[in-house]
Amino acid sequence: MNSERIIGLAILCVCMIIATPIALSWNRALHLRMPHVRVYRWGYYLGAMGVMGYGLLALVATALVLTGETKAVVLAALFILCAVPFFFIIRRKRWAWIVGTILLFNPVLWIINAIYARHRWAEMQTEEISAKEERGRAAEEFAAVAARNAEARAREVRPEGESVSWWDGLSMATRAWIVGSLFWMAVVLVYVVIFKPYGGMSTRDIIHMIKVMFFPPLVANVGYSLYAKFVVRP
Angle at CA of residue 187, ends 186 and 192, nearest 5° = 100
Q: Please say whether the beta carbons of 16 and 49 come within 8 A.
A: yes
Q: Please say whether the beta carbons of 11 and 57 come within 8 A.
A: yes
Lowest mean pLDDT among 26-35, 152-161, 183-192, 206-215: 152-161
Greater confidence (68 vs 112) lies with 112
* Per-residue pLDDT at 69: 79
Mean pLDDT of the 17-23 span: 91
The widest CA-to-CA distance across the chain, in whole angstroms, is 61
Number of CB atoms found within 10 A of residue 6's CB: 14
- Of 7, 61, 19, give the one whose Cα is nearest residue 221: 19
The predicted-structure confidence for 145-184, as pLDDT tens digits, reads as follows 666 666 665 665 555 555 556 677 777 888 888 888 888 8
Q: Residue ranges per domain, the chain?
A: 3-230
Number of CB atoms found within 10 A of residue 32's CB: 13
Lowest mean pLDDT among 14-18, 88-92, 155-159, 173-177: 155-159
Angle at CA of residue 63, ends 91 and 191, nearest 5° = 95
- Of 23, 19, 39, give the one whose Cα is nearest residue 31: 39
